[in-house]
Amino acid sequence: MNLIQAKGLSHSFEHLLYDDVNIDIKEKESVAVLGVSGSGKSSLINNLSTLLKPKSGIVNLNGKNDIYSINDDEILSIRKNEIGIIFQSHYLFRGFNVLENLKVASILTNQKIDMDLLEKFGISDLLKQQIGELSGGQQQRLSIARVLQKKPKIIFADEPTGNLDKNTSIKVMEVVFNYLNINNAAMLIATHDIEIANMCDRIFYLKDCKLVETKK
């Protein structure tokens, strides 16, 4: 089953970013998008994840066809219940400690705090730490754990390992890939990291306004 599908997707700001993008991503599948800065990787993630309406084209998510044709309440429901988005910035609540951040997410998504997941990310002993006391890498691991705790069917990730060292990046992504397999989920990840991209099932390049699949 295709969880993510784009047909004829195009987007532009001052200039055209990409045109006639077509992509299908199935359950348990991970797809990486590579491209130079400014090529449109983040905009593509935003178009596919309900955050930014494309200039043209259709986006289908988890059986919901043409999501930008449905009402705002339905889009919010998809965003809340079916999608997890890992941003370049962690967007944690700085006035709260780690546990409080997780509790807020737990309440909003009706999911329990997953202590086993926190252990896998190496942050289970940081629950009483204020966000400002964490390193950039710890903050990023917490933000990724918070997304997985939501139990999304679809994950969109924009440079999720940018604040992590090489070894930690690989360990974190292994946890994410395991999540996809266990939960029959799918992921699209925008990254500059070739090694992370090679861990994915498929790789695309966004170049000259076109999204083209490449052989690994």
Instruction: Indicate if the pLDDT at residue 158 is higher than 90.
Output: yes
pLDDT tens digits, one per residue of 20-41: 999 999 999 999 999 998 899 9
State residue 162 phi and psi, 5-degree precision.
-60, -30
| 158 three-state secondary structure | strand
CA angle (116 as vertex; 25, 91 as ends), nearest 5: 65
Mean pLDDT calculated for residue range 182-187: 97
pTM of this prediction? 0.94
Residue found under tokens 């939960």: 183
- Lowest mean per-residue pLDDT among 91-95, 97-101, 151-155: 91-95
Tell the CATH topology of 2-95+152-214.
Rossmann fold (3.40.50)
What are 26's strand-pairing partners?
2
Mean pLDDT calculated for residue range 183-212: 96
Instruction: Indicate if the pLDDT at residue 95 is higher than 90.
Output: no
Residue 124 confidence (pLDDT): 95
The helix (run of H) or strand (run of E) holding residue 73 is helix 72-81
Radius of gyration of the chain (CA): 17
| End-to-end CA, the chain | 23
More confident residue, 94 or 151: 151
Contact 177, 184 (CB under 8 A): no
Instruction: Indicate if the pLDDT at residue 58 is higher than 90.
Output: yes
Mean pLDDT calculated for residue range 115-144: 94
- 94 pLDDT band, cuts 50/70/90, is confident
205: exposed, middle or buried (Cβ count in 10 Å: 0-12, 13-18, 19+): middle
CB atoms under 10 Å from CB of 137, counted, come to: 18
Cα(188)–Cα(182) distance, rounded to whole angstroms? Answer: 17
Residue 216 confidence (pLDDT): 67
